[in-house]
Amino acid sequence: MLQLASALLPVLRGGEPVAVVTVARITRSAPRGIGTAMALTRSGDVIGSISGGCVEGDAILLATEVLATGCSRTADLGFSDDAAHAAGLACGGSVAVVVHRIEPTDAAAIAALGSAAEDRPTAVGLVSSGAHAGRIIDLAGADALDDTRMLENAYDGCEVLALVHRPRPELVIVGAGDHAMALARVGSAAGFAVTVCDVWERLVTAERFPTADRLVVGLPADELRGLVSDPARAAVCVLTHDERVDVPAIAAALRHGVGFVGAMGARSTVAHRAHLLRESGVADGELARLRSPLGLDLGGASPTETAIAVLAEIVAARHGAPGSPLRDGDGPLHRRPTTADAVCIPSLQDVTR
């Protein structure tokens, strides 16, 4: 439900309850991961989606019932491969869902939704089995969680789906040219918190970067530490063509421990820049982390095509993927966290009803 926070809060604050359908488990293939949710309002508005469409109808029927009765439900939605294909559906899998109603007075739910809407680290528990299914609970020790996952025997012997929201990963773009404008657009669309930094005030404008979260005028190397709050999850892309700007910026990003550091440039530029970085004191071990030339080889050359290639490399690096065509592999299409009971959650305290 946390991913729907911005849409759910106005409804709840307006005094209306909502019914939420949350994916708790997945068997075989499914297009969305655990924790994915959709909601139904009293006016019949559907917010979000839990699949590519093959189980939405059943989910809406369940949500309608729960919204009317206030009684939580659990259900398995989906088909076997043979049944799915016979019905003309694209995927043969099933999802276990928890359907529950959130009241405007549900303090735990409102607090968690408010925190997620403000893009702050958030974790809340959804009891997913037994007599308490659908109950929202506080998660003590939730700092140990870095992703949504199922916790076995976590509440009165029942399963708890730990719903986790992490702030958007940061994308810092150094340079404010045409390629930067394109990368800011696709980066924002992909869910990154985008910052653009350049020395030229006339280039760093809201008109040129309408989707950026932050526009900074100044020397990127001097500004960088203040622009990145979570270096391990951040990406810094240097798109300038001035070694007086890009060399110090790259060195600063590498030394600050930024998880993804990339720089555009022709191969001759890359080689010359590497020489300058070594002269500035960047060790070979640090230099090996620099991704330059930047981007996967998609064959495009326009600013937007280049931006897509850059973002593709960032996403692949974040997930430890090779960036190769899916048809060349034979494993699962999606890398997802599995059920885990090894995470230490000292206690769970009921803060509702």
- 87, pLDDT greater than 90: no
pLDDT at residue 344, as a whole number: 40
Q: What secondary structure letter does DSSP report for 335?
A: -
User: Dihedral (C-alpha) 35, 40, 46, 50: value to the nearest 10 degrees?
Assistant: 20
Which residue did the predictor score with more confidence, 29 or 256?
256
Cα gap 75→101, rounded to integer Å: 15
State residue 63's pLDDT score.
Answer: 96
Prediction pTM value: 0.82
Nearest to 224 by CA among 262, 193, 244, 198: 198
pLDDT at residue 110 tops 80: yes
Vertex 247, ends 242 and 252: CA angle to 5°? 135
Cα angle: 254, vertex 259, 264; to 5 degrees? 65
Contacts 24+ apart (CB under 8 A), 191-199: 192/168, 192/235, 193/119, 193/167, 193/168, 193/169, 195/170, 195/171, 195/227, 197/172, 197/173, 197/223, 197/224, 197/227, 198/174, 198/240, 199/245
Lookup: tokens for 147: 């992703």
**Which pLDDT band holds residue 79 (cuts at 50, 70, 90)?**
low
DSSP annotation string for 69-123: H---EEEEEE--HHHHHHTT-S--EEEEEEEEEE-TT-HHHHHHHHHHHTT--EE
Give the separation between CA 181 and CA 204, rounded to whole angstroms: 10
Q: What is the pLDDT of residue 332?
A: 67
Average pLDDT, the chain: 88
Residue 86's pLDDT is what?
A: 40
* Mean per-residue pLDDT, 206-228: 96
- What would the two tokens of residue 265 be? 């440039």
pLDDT above 70 covers a percentage of the chain that reads 86
* Residues 167-174, mean pLDDT to the nearest whole number: 96
Q: Per the omega criterion (within 30 degrees of 0), is the bond before 293 cis?
A: yes
Identify the three-state secondary structure at position 4. helix
pLDDT at 155: 86
Judge residue 240's burial from the number of C-beta atoms within 10 Å of its C-beta, 0-12 exposed, 13-18 middle, 19 or more buried: buried
Least confident segment among 122-126, 235-239, 314-318, 325-329: 325-329
Q: In whole angstroms, give the CA distance from residue 100 to residue 103.
A: 10
Q: In 166-283, at which residue ranges do the beta strands (DSSP E only) sit?
A: 170-174, 193-198, 214-217, 235-238, 260-263
Residue 13 confidence (pLDDT) above 50:
yes
Token reading at 268: 């001759």
pLDDT band at 141 (very low <50, low <70, confident <90, very high): low
- Could you tell me which residue, 105 or 29, shows the higher pLDDT? 105
Q: Is residue 265 very low, low, confident or very high in pLDDT (cuts 50, 70, 90)? A: very high
Rg (C-alpha) for the chain, rounded Å, is 23
In contact, 317 and 260? CB cutoff 8 Å: yes
